[in-house]
Structures are given as structure tokens and as C-alpha cells.
Amino acid sequence: MLFVPSSGNSNQEAKDAYDEKLTKTEILVKTEENSKLANLYIESDFQKVYYTYFPSLQNQDKNQNQEEEDDIYERSKIKTFLKKKEVKKSEFYGDLICNHFDDWNERKLFASILITESRGKAGAVSEKGATGPWQVMPFWKKVLKIPGSLHNPEVNLKYAKKVLKIHTEEANGELWGHKGGLYRYSGKSKIYAKKISKLMNEIEKV
């Protein structure tokens, strides 16, 4: 509940009004600066008062609310898709991915890589030694030196993110093309990028 004190109101008077729960009491603002707020009802017109003083924040608040709604929606789609693809701990991995990436395409990308590489098996180790949920090669630990075990999903994702970025930069910024970042990340699989693209398109349809 918002109280707009007049020049003669004290903090105690405002507190007393609050304690009495006068939800429709009008605050008469006597100063010329505040005269435009004189007849606003305290409770029902809170936003009107707020945005009268801070008009630039109105769009900012709307944008923030929209971002929060988008985040909830995207998290739901990622989690639903991971569960559909039988990823272990789909809720956990959905939040992990969305907490690391704000961009929707990146969220889809790393969810798709997770499905392709291990379906969320933290203890997974390939014949070539690729380790953890996103199947990171152990030699990257000596290169990147990120603390923690590759079997730890959060640590593994940090490595996967950096490794894919390095491979993409080596491919002149090309993620999808022939010998692009995904091609290098996969160990030079010619069909890997197509698999990832297909999964990302499926997420959109959830």
C-alpha cells in the first residue's frame, strides 16, 4: 500500500493510517509539485502513482515481466523435451541448461547435444574417453583448467560450452557448415550437425 505524504504529514501519521487499513483514504497533497496526485486512491491507483513519478520505468517493467514469462515457457519446453527423449533427471538438466544460457537457441543447442551425447548420464565414458553428460575429452582439463570433475554435470557443461566456442572460432565462426564447430566437437562426424539441427527443430514443436 502506497502513501504519498503531504508537506504536513509525518511518518507517524502515515503509519497510523496504514495500521488502520484505510484502503480508500485520499491523501491530499498540498504542495504544488504533488497536486496532480491529490485525489488518487492509495491502493487501487498504486501503479498510476508509481508511473507518474517514474514514467521511464513503465516499459522497463513490462519488458522484465515479458522476459520472466518467456523464461518460464522456454524452461518448460526444454524439460518436456528432455523427458520425452528419456534424459535422466530431465528437470535438473533443464534448469541447468537454462541457468547457463539466456538465449533460446543456445538452450536448444545444448539440450540437443546432451540428448545426442549421453541422455544425461553423468558417469558416461566413451571408448575414446569422452566423459560426462556432454562427452568432453579429458585433455581439455589441462587446457581450460576449470575446477571440478568432468562427471559433475555443471562442470561438464562449462567445458562443453568453451570447447564448442573454441571449435567454432577455429572454423571461422561457422557452427553448422562443413567442418564447422559441431563437426569438430563431435570428433569429425559428418552427420552430427544434422542430428543436432533435427532435435532443435523438434524442441520448437513441443
What average pLDDT does range 99-126 have in this prediction? 98
Q: Does residue 37 belong to any structural domain of this protein?
A: yes
Q: Which domain holds residue 38?
A: 16-53
Please tell me which residue, 91 or 25, carries the higher pLDDT value. 91
Question: How far apart (Å, rounded) are the C-alpha atoms in residues 78 and 155?
Answer: 20
What pTM was computed for the model? 0.71
Q: What is the pLDDT of residue 178?
A: 86
pLDDT digits (tens, 9 = 90+) for 57-86: 666 766 778 889 999 999 999 999 999 999
If one compares 38 and 191, the residue with the highest pLDDT of the two is: 191
* CATH number of the CATH domain containing 192: 1.10.530.10
Residues 22 and 83 in one domain: no
Does residue 41 have a pLDDT over 60? no
113: left (phi over 0), alpha (psi -120 to 50) or beta: alpha
Assess whether pLDDT exceeds 90 at residue 119: yes
Judgement on whether residues 172 and 139 belong to the same structural domain of the protein: yes
Other beta carbons less than 10 A from residue 170's beta carbon? 13
Residues 46, 72 within the same domain: no
Q: Average pLDDT of the chain? A: 84
Residues 108 and 141: beta-carbon distance below 8 Å: no
Do 177 and 114 lie in a common domain? yes
Q: pLDDT at position 65, please?
A: 83
> In the structure grid, which three cell numbers stand for residue 129, read together?
574417453
What is residue 59's predicted lDDT score, i.e. its pLDDT?
67
How many domains does the chain contain in total? 2
135 plus 182 within the same structural domain: yes
